[in-house]
Structure 1
């Protein structure tokens, strides 16, 4: 089983959001050294919590400063964009870092409804066209022909070359799983987004319905993205995880706030019910010593028939975040 990184470029209190982008570049360089397989970047808009609004731009910066690790988006929220433009962006990335580029495609807005309309006034209709958009991105990014009756069959996607981005479908329900299975694409379930709810059902749908397009097509591959945090002691890990708990409690109130420090989290005055829910949510994440976290993730991989796990870690101190990835890489035997 492979281990990778999902970075959302978290915004922290008392720190300007643009700093989160530079921290992502530094973390990517570190994680390449630790031995992780790929480095994925998420897409969110108009968020006080996440600075990563243009993963295709950040991926170019990271690809230019690394040499081995795969780099890409997890994902591009396709209904915001024209399929041709997305394919062109990732063909350029493929030219920058041949054989190292991933293109994860998602249907969710990654924002509120108003922001989705600001990005694309036809966002609601575009979401219904997601399967057709995926088909078009697959064809344009790989240089294959579109259907004979397609109005844009004669349009080419530059720059062409011998390699193509590796396309994934992302999701948190059976919809994305079934779509990935239909197209014969790898599938990643956003386990961290729902504390694992629906993962077993979605991955069963993917495994049972997968259709391999041809003998030369890649085999089915399933992954999940999880929140994990490791520290030298369980107590230290739980201390830094307070920020995560507070963030989710505020999200349940409909507020997307910068990540608070553990001290700020202690002063946020959550009700007993909120504190109880925070503890339940944190228990469903992967927090503890490197050995504890690694054991739980290996079990999850076996239970869900996973080929890969991508880890997202948001803590207030970027040094602690980097150290967590280092400790887990050692526990996984990556370095």
Structure 2
């Protein structure tokens, strides 16, 4: 089966543009990726972030779907612990009605922000911190498919406008905590290797497959591996571009909060680092897929085989929007 290449967009606040333009740039990139032949375009959810500018994926999904033609569009993902499963189902079933057979609903357990934002999103109630996630996932699937069990107090609710159009359901995870749940409930699974490559192993997909089969779901399961990927004309240039995202991740580990640095600023910081910080920077870089189009595709195909999946999602964060667009244009040569 031909490998499908997709996009997971965190709507980064590029240093090359004002922050207010980040959502619009996601729409522009999605239009380009639609023309380039990418299979899916997912947008992420973040709150109170200086780096990522999309707190409401359902709005960006609808906007992107309205200006694209072929590419599937969805959330990667909605942070379900903050929301009513009914309201999420209503929003995505409406989009599935307006854009048939193109809408994906991916959900995740993570908060997508700080503890303070979790409290603000839950106010005047208290945040559940993911404790009710499995129950919310059950109800969400029931609302989407129109089959809430009769012993559920919500079983008489009809999700408008109709039972027929449905988004494709996905569950996100980074280290395996949700794999069994996704397989048991019948959600497709997207594994975020870009978050924690050290603890992202093929055994997670194996656990998912086993639970899927044990539950007796009739349809085949879909699996996506999401990776950090930066492509350029040369390996040297790709590593230079990737430095922005690598430094942001290292800075977060060190408790530093600052806007994206330019590639040259990252080089300067690296030279000033103690050897231990340089080693950690290099370790993070090694978990990314970085290089020319040919080098990236070789690694992508290797990861696809290692994880036994036929779809890879790519997360590309660069200082400039032009570098991010160029990275996807170069990757598209392998499609």
Identify the residue that residue 253 of structure 2 maps to in structure 1: 252
Decide which of 18, 32, 35 is 2:34's aligned counterpart. Answer: 32
Please say if 1:326 is aligned against 2:329.
yes
Following TM superposition, by how much is the alpha carbon of 1:208 offset from its aligned partner in structure 2, in angstroms? 2.5
Identify the residue that residue 152 of structure 1 maps to in structure 2: 154
Residues 80, 123 of structure 1: 8 Å contact kept: no
Matches of residues 274-313 of structure 1 in structure 2 within 5 Å? 274-313=277-316
C-alpha change, 1:151 and 1:161, in structure 2 (3 Å) is closer
Matches of residues 152-171 of structure 1 in structure 2 within 5 Å? 152-160=154-162, 162-171=164-173
Decide which of 193, 196, 199 is 1:197's aligned counterpart. Answer: 199
Following TM superposition, by how much is the alpha carbon of 1:214 offset from its aligned partner in structure 2, in angstroms? 5.5
Identify the residue that residue 10 of structure 2 maps to in structure 1: 8
Q: Secondary structure at the match of 1:193?
A: coil
Identify the residue that residue 174 of structure 2 maps to in structure 1: 172
Measured in 1, the distance between the counterparts of 2:259 and 2:12 equals 7
Measured in 2, the distance between the counterparts of 1:265 and 1:9 equals 21
Residues 184, 211 of structure 1: 8 Å contact kept: no
Following TM superposition, by how much is the alpha carbon of 1:212 offset from its aligned partner in structure 2, in angstroms? 6.8
Measured in 1, the distance between the counterparts of 2:163 and 2:39 equals 23
Partner deviation per Cα, 1:71-96 (whole Å, 9 max, x = no partner)? 01010000100000000110111122
TM-score (normalizing by structure 1): 0.93
C-alpha change, 1:138 and 1:212, in structure 2 (3 Å) is farther
Following TM superposition, by how much is the alpha carbon of 1:123 offset from its aligned partner in structure 2, in angstroms? 5.5
Decide which of 41, 49, 68 is 2:70's aligned counterpart. Answer: 68
Identify the residue that residue 109 of structure 2 maps to in structure 1: 107
Measured in 2, the distance between the counterparts of 1:306 and 1:247 equals 29
Please say if 1:59 is aligned against 2:70.
no
Residues 58, 92 of structure 2: 8 Å contact kept: yes
Measured in 2, the distance between the counterparts of 1:196 and 1:329 equals 27
C-alpha change, 1:161 and 1:208, in structure 2 (3 Å) is closer
C-alpha change, 1:123 and 1:273, in structure 2 (3 Å) is farther
Following TM superposition, by how much is the alpha carbon of 1:294 offset from its aligned partner in structure 2, in angstroms? 0.4
Following TM superposition, by how much is the alpha carbon of 1:57 offset from its aligned partner in structure 2, in angstroms? 0.4
Following TM superposition, by how much is the alpha carbon of 1:180 offset from its aligned partner in structure 2, in angstroms? 0.8
Q: Secondary structure at the match of 1:257?
A: coil
Q: Which runs of 5+ in 2 are unaligned?
A: none
Residues 183, 215 of structure 2: 8 Å contact kept: no
TM-score (normalizing by structure 2): 0.93
Aligned Cα root-mean-square deviation (Å) = 1.7
Equivalent pairs counted in the alignment come to 330
Following TM superposition, by how much is the alpha carbon of 1:177 offset from its aligned partner in structure 2, in angstroms? 0.5
Following TM superposition, by how much is the alpha carbon of 1:249 offset from its aligned partner in structure 2, in angstroms? 1.5
- Comparing 26-35 with 13-22, greater Cα deviation is found at 13-22
Identify the residue that residue 82 of structure 1 maps to in structure 2: 84
Q: Which runs of 5+ in 1 are unaligned?
A: none
Decide which of 315, 320, 323 is 1:317's aligned counterpart. Answer: 320
